Structure 1
């Protein structure tokens, strides 16, 4: 089946996307195993997106971020296809070939992670649509219609490859609490010389520098045990262990927090905090190879040069710093998708 490049929005609506109803009609109205066709009303005038999932929460956040950006520009009907259910996915592809499909043919096929790459190409060949990959794919770049790759990764400057500031994340700029802050703590990795006592000192310094702010320090799966005990209790500081946190704790906390500090090793958390429209600081750490800056260290330095973040070397009063606004990438990337892949030529 040939790849489609027409717009689901219709010719008269091309110039007024932002005035349309901005919503995702349903993130997952029908998985492949649901034996029910979507109604014609459900997909009428909507941008039909097949969202291929590999079961990894970080990857799902990225594709959700792009969907959110698209939904701010046009009505979207999105359908999840879980690659862990291979028989269900390939069954849906076969039903399309036979003309018995349960899902509407896609305008866009979005995937993150190696497990989604080959199925994306198969879905395009059988069902039409255009492919959008987030992160560098494992297959040749020329096979995909559009690829978004973080700038800190090494990637070729090709026409179908677009660099992004970090990974694409969902955004929110509502419900900010003026005097609420987060400290997000990662753990040892191959890039940074992770020193627990230095991290504990930084957490104490953040709380002491801003006694008017209620800080919540959050560890993660990578955080060495015993770090919480190294931080002397403060009236304006509480500790939240990931083991005891509700599943949606971090998402809700980022939506509320006006200020967020992130350890330098936590690159994904850094961009989630920026996308949440918080004022962001980075707890500096020495690299394992000072003579060879890593791609993550270069990315952080680029953010500092543009004054999107504050480094702990420059102090801990993040609320007094003059930081420039960081425009979340999901909206910009969504605009590129619509311009290049959806609008009729």
Structure 2
């Protein structure tokens, strides 16, 4: 029997959120057992005589309805890690990023960004990394702005060289410029193992990230990095860029291109905070 069922729509980002929460629960209560089940298997469970879980957790629009139905079927509490498309009353707890601007309540807990699985480690003194995303519906992308920011960072580093990790969205034009710069150590997704970035963030002190790279910003903060944004112009009504502005307003990140900073390296432990709330409610 599993204490927790994680319903997965098989999208890595959504599963990452659920696992971040469940791993935090297990860290606090190691005897907890968990099981990941697909949406199709979850539907079949509606008509089976399986041993029931103690708690159901999911993220992603495609998991919302089956999450609610299973909770009703087995009469157990359920958690959804997003703003719901259905009435809030169908969920025992909603963990919703604050940039979605949903009023908090006993049922709604606001989080800084989406939960993730990052865990901080001992930092390598003086280590730094630049995270570069690419065009998205949330920002007005500018290659030149990013190149100028990286040039400024290079000029301020003692080694006169800097690590830059790109994403699959990074434009080829920008990749070509970075590859031609002998002062840039370029790391592309296809050239490293899947766990390279989380392992690297765990031990990195200082991170600069383009403001479109929302997930990476929150993961770097959770890893205990001091994070500054390379800010691109936001498109109107972007929820994710609203979240970046909230981090700036709270002093959690800044826009500085200086190595020295007044930021805290205290990890953003949102998964731990949410796990404590669940245990306080006596559901496990």
Q: TM-score, normalised by structure 1?
A: 0.75
SS at match of 1:79: strand
Task: Select which of 42, 46, 51 maps to 1:89.
Answer: 42
Q: Distance in 2 between matches of 1:336 and 1:214?
A: 44
Tell me the distance in 1 between the aligned counterparts of 2:84 and 2:164: 35
In 1, Cα distance between the equivalents of 2:155 and 2:175?
16
CA-atom RMSD in angstroms: 2.1
Q: Give the match's secondary structure for 1:261.
A: strand
Q: Secondary structure at the match of 1:122?
A: helix
How far is 1:296 from its partner?
3.1
Q: Give the aligned partner of residue 246 of structure 2.
A: 302
Distance verdict in 2 for CA 1:254–1:221, change over 3 Å: same
Q: Secondary structure at the match of 1:51?
A: strand
CA distance, structure 2, for counterparts of residue 179 and residue 260 of structure 1: 11
Say whether the 8 Å CA contact 1:263–1:282 is kept in structure 2: yes
Shift of 1:212: 4.3
Q: Tell me which residue corresponds to 1:252.
A: 199
Matched position secondary structure for 1:309: coil
Give the corresponding residue for 2:9: 54
Judge conservation of contact 1:171–1:328 (CA < 8 Å) in 2.
no
1:239 deviates by: 0.6
Q: 1:217 touches 1:238 (CA, 8 Å); kept in 2?
A: yes
| Partner of residue 77, structure 1 | 33
1:177 and 1:89, CA in 2 relative to 1: closer, same or farther beyond 3 A? Answer: same
Q: How does 1:189-200 map to 2 (within 5 A)?
A: 189-200=136-147
CA shift for structure 1 position 341: 4.9
Matches within 5 A, 1:113-152: 113-152=60-99
Asked if 1:261 is matched to 2:208, the reply is: yes
1:10 corresponds in structure 2 to none
Match of 2:181 in 1: 233
Q: Which has the larger radius of gyration?
A: 1
Change (3 A) 1:214 1:69: farther
- Does the 8 A contact of 1:52 with 1:109 survive in 2? yes
1:207-262, Cα deviation, whole Å (9 max, x unpaired) = 32123497321111221112122235244x31111233322222222222222111
Among 173, 177, 182, the residue aligned to 2:120: 173
Gaps of 5+ in 1: 1-37
Structure 2 residues without counterparts, runs of 5 or longer? none
Change (3 A) 1:335 1:187: same
Q: Could you say which residue in structure 1 is the equivalent of 2:23?
A: 68
What displacement does 1:109 show? 0.4
Within the alignment, does 1:323 sit opposite 2:257 as a pair?
A: no
Q: TM-score, normalised by structure 2?
A: 0.90
For 1:285 and 1:57, locate their aligned partners in 2 and report how far apart those are by CA, in whole Å. 26
